[in-house]
A and B are shown apart, each in its own frame.
Chain A
Amino acid sequence: MFKLDEVKAHCDVPCGIYDPSAAQIAALSVIRMIDLMNTAEKGADDVAYHNDMARYVAVKETEAIKCKDEIAIIWGDFIKPPHLIKYPDLHTLAHKIMMLGGAAKQHASREKGMELLAAVNEFAAIFWEIKGVKTQTVTAPYAPSESVISPVL
C-alpha cells in the first residue's frame, strides 16, 4: 500500500560479500585430486611418480581446508538465528561439512569427496534461498565435471 523507509540493524561490514562458490570449487578440487591419485601411473621414473602423488595429496589437503574455511565463514558470520528457525538443520549440515572436509584429508576415497560436494551443494542451495536468489544445477565445465548448485544470475 505504501513503502516505509528502512532503518538499518546491520551486522558485520556493511554489504559484506558471501558466496559458497569458493567452497564448491574447493570440493571439486578435492575430487579432482582423488581422481588424479587413482589414475596416476607408476612408470619407470619412480621419483616423478612420488613427486606427482605428493603434490596431489598436498593440493587435496589445502582444498579440503579451504572448503571448510569458506563454509565456516558463511556459517559463523552470515547465518543468523532467524535463519535457523527456517532451516533448523543448518547447524547439523555445517558440522557435517566440517567432518566431511576432515575425512577428505584423511582418506583418498572418491565417495567421501562426493559426499563433501553434495553437502556443500546443499548448503549453497539454502544460502541462495536465504538471499532470495534462484538456483540451478549445472555441470562443472571442467574435470571432475560434477554437478554444482549455482545462482541464476
Chain B
Amino acid sequence: MIRLFKVSGHSLFPLFQDGERIFCVKIFNFTKFKTSNIVVFEKEPHGLMIKQIKAIDEKGYFVQGTDAFSIDSRDFGPIKRESIKYKVLFKF
C-alpha cells in the first residue's frame, strides 16, 4: 500500500532531484488522478519511471518531465491507467 523509492535522474528538476526519496501510495480502482500529480508507472524497456501528469483524455495519461530532454509521453505517447503503480505524496 505504501512504498518508498529513490529518484534517479534529473528530468523532474526542480520538483524532484536526483537521489531524493519519495513516499508513494499504491493505486486502487477508486484512486483519482488530476493533472500535476506525480506518478510512478511501469514502462518497458525503461522499467519503473516517475513523471508528472500533464493531461488526461480518452487516449490515456500524458506524462511529462520538466526537463526538455526528459523521456516521457512526448516520446512514447500516453500511458494506460493500468501501468500507473503509485502516486507520489511527498519527498523526504
Contacts and interface: CB of A to CB of B under 8 A. Distances in A.
B69 A82 contact: no
B84 to A, nearest CB: 12
Contact of B5 (A5, A77, A80, A82): A5
Contacts, number: 73
Contacts of A6: 5-8, 48
Contacts of B49: 7-10
Contact of B6 (A4, A10, A77, A80): A4
A81 B22 contact: no
Nearest to A79: B10
Contact-size category for B: 20 to 34
Interface string A54-89: 000000000000000000000001001110000000
Contacts of B50: 7-9
Interface string B1-17: 00111111111111011
A14 interface: yes
B11 A77 contact: no
Contacts of B78: none
Nearest to B71: A10
A11 B71 contact: yes
B46 interface: yes
A46 interface: no
A81 to B, nearest CB: 5
Interface in B36-52: 40, 46-51
B69 A9 contact: no
Contact of A7 (B10, B22, B69): B22
A18 to B, nearest CB: 12
A80 B67 CA distance: 9
A83 to B, nearest CB: 8
A12 interface: yes
Contacts of A80: 10, 13, 67
A9 B48 contact: no
Contacts of B7: 6-7, 9
15 contacts: A5-B6, A7-B8, A7-B40, A7-B48, A7-B49, A7-B50, A8-B48, A9-B12, A9-B49, A10-B70, A11-B69, A12-B71, A14-B71, A81-B14, A82-B13
